Amino acid sequence: MAEPLRVGIAGLGTVGASVIRLLDRQSAALAARSGRSIKVTAVSARDRTRERGVDVAGLVWFDNPVDLAKSHDIDLFVELMGGDEGPARLAIEAALASGKSVVTANKALLAKHGMSLAKLAEEKHVALAFEASVAGGIPVVKTLREGLAGNSIERVYGILNGTCNYILSRMELEGLSFEACLADAQKLGYAEADPTFDIGGFDTAHKLAILTSLAFGTAVDAEAVQVEGITAITLADLKSAEELGYRIKLLGVAQRTEEGIEQRVHPTMVPRSSAIAAVMGVTNAVTIDADAVKELTLVGPGAGGDATASAVVADIADIAKGIRSAPFGLPVASLEAATRPPAQRHEGGYYIRLSVHDRPGAAAAIATRMAERQISLESIMQRNPPAKRGAANSGTAKPVPFVLITYATSEATIREALDAVVADGYIAEKPQVIRIERE
């Protein structure tokens, strides 16, 4: 059997400790499958005294992760610290520059510096592996890069953030407010004290940028992703979705269009009969539309120590076997620049919720503004009876909720029409617009 693969791990939080436990528990099986044993020989973390539930007494300890990355005591560097700059970036660059392969779960770093790191890995003929960076324990990176190499992919979309899916699931099933569900998510450790990165859609955008590169051969560019989070979703929207046969999910979507590869993150109404609609709680799911396999959906845990460690260990095992894939499927020089096409025609239409002042002619005026821009309305629904005319005349009537369902059109056209409606003075608050995906 070949010499052991000596692994150095920077970051001994939940995931790092889980990786050590998993490597120990599966050591015999991994050695048999890889043709060599895998040994953690060195680690780096901020606090040597912290109890982690794993024995690190016999390991070489480095206070500086960059020193670990350069060390002759390891063959492979595993980065589990997080952050798109600072120690994580410096340590990965140091490891690659010294001819060591790298495994990371750091989607933020890859979204920002993935191309330069991949180029360095190519120059040094080492691996840069990142299965754990997207969708936790779901093997979507390998599926896109190797498993579907013989396919032409048209679209990749999915639930890529467990925090948002947890919040939307609880709002729908328990009738709780967004604020209450977010507070519970923070108590359970699903959301950070500052949850903006998750609920604003930015975490999903980073992951989508990585999947887009793998699926379509483009350079990773998170700035090319159109991003909208879930903070504006209300119980009224979830109720309307249910009545219409849909469920609201925050989706990351990348698809091939005539003007280039479109990347977007936004709340979406998906049919309740679809596989992705059934994904609840912190679970993630990714659907791939390709010419040979047609539609493939992968569902599994999107976060957590063991799930993420599973993906990290899978990459370590590949490297132990001598597998060296181009990080993003193609050499960096062959990747095309990411495009930023304008909002495209969206098949399936849009859900629009308006808070309309109860005035004569309001509904007709709204329909006229839509017709002026050739937006066809599938239905107009008033969500509750209007106030009594006396109350309306006195100026005390509450605005009336209206829901519009459109046929296929572009978001830009929808926004133009709604700007005109707002200018007419019929709308009491900002309109809610949600895309509809149909099977």
**Mean pLDDT for the chain overall:** 91
Together in a domain, 84 and 117 = yes
Report pLDDT digits (tens) over 266-317. 999 999 999 999 999 999 999 999 999 999 999 999 888 899 999 999 999 9
pLDDT of residue 397: 66
Together in a domain, 151 and 232 = yes
How many helical (H) and strand (E) elements, i.e. helices and strands, does the chain have? 15, 18
Q: Which two tokens stand for residue 392?
A: 């309306």
Q: Does the structure show a pLDDT above 50 at 419?
A: yes
Q: How confident is the model at residue 35 (pLDDT cuts 50, 70, 90)?
A: very high
**Residue 13 belongs to a domain with what CATH number?**
3.40.50.720
pLDDT of residue 34: 94
Q: Does the structure show a pLDDT above 60 at 390?
A: no
SS3 107: helix
Quick one: DSSP state of residue 285?
E
Which residue range forms the structural domain that includes residue 255?
147-301
Helix (H) or strand (E) holding 50: none
pLDDT of residue 52: 83
Q: Does the structure show a pLDDT above 70 at 343?
A: no
- Length, in residues, of the chain: 439
Report pLDDT digits (tens) over 243-263. 989 999 999 999 998 888 999
Q: Quick check: is 214 in a domain? A: yes
Q: How confident is the model at residue 384 (pLDDT cuts 50, 70, 90)?
A: low
Lowest mean pLDDT among 187-201, 210-224, 329-343, 418-432: 329-343
Q: Which two tokens stand for residue 361?
A: 């002619």
pLDDT of residue 313: 97
pLDDT of residue 392: 46
Catalytic option among 70, 142, 207, 249? 207
Can you spell out the DSSP letters for 366-425? HHHHHHHTTPPEEEEEESSPPPPHHHHHHT-PPPEEEEEEE-SEEHHHHHHHHHHHHHHT
Phi-psi region of 189 (alpha: psi -120 to 50; beta: other; left: phi over 0): left
Together in a domain, 394 and 258 = no
pLDDT of residue 257: 87
Together in a domain, 261 and 357 = no
Together in a domain, 186 and 284 = yes
Runs of H (alpha helix) within 154-201: 162-174, 178-187, 196-199
Q: Does the structure show a pLDDT above 60 at 161?
A: yes
- Helix, strand and coil content of the chain, in percent to the nearest 5, comes to 40, 25, 35
Together in a domain, 159 and 121 = no
% the chain with pLDDT above 70: 95
Is 207 among the residues known to form the active site?
Answer: yes
Between CA 343 and CA 82 the distance in angstroms is 32
Together in a domain, 163 and 283 = yes
The more confidently predicted of residues 343 and 31 is 31
Task: Give me the number of domains the chain comprises.
Answer: 3
Q: Does the structure show a pLDDT above 70 at 345?
A: no
Task: Report CA 307 to chain centroid distance, whole Å.
Answer: 16
When pLDDT is averaged across residues 31-40 and rounded to a whole number, the result is 95
When pLDDT is averaged across residues 153-166 and rounded to a whole number, the result is 96
Between CA 38 and CA 346 the distance in angstroms is 49
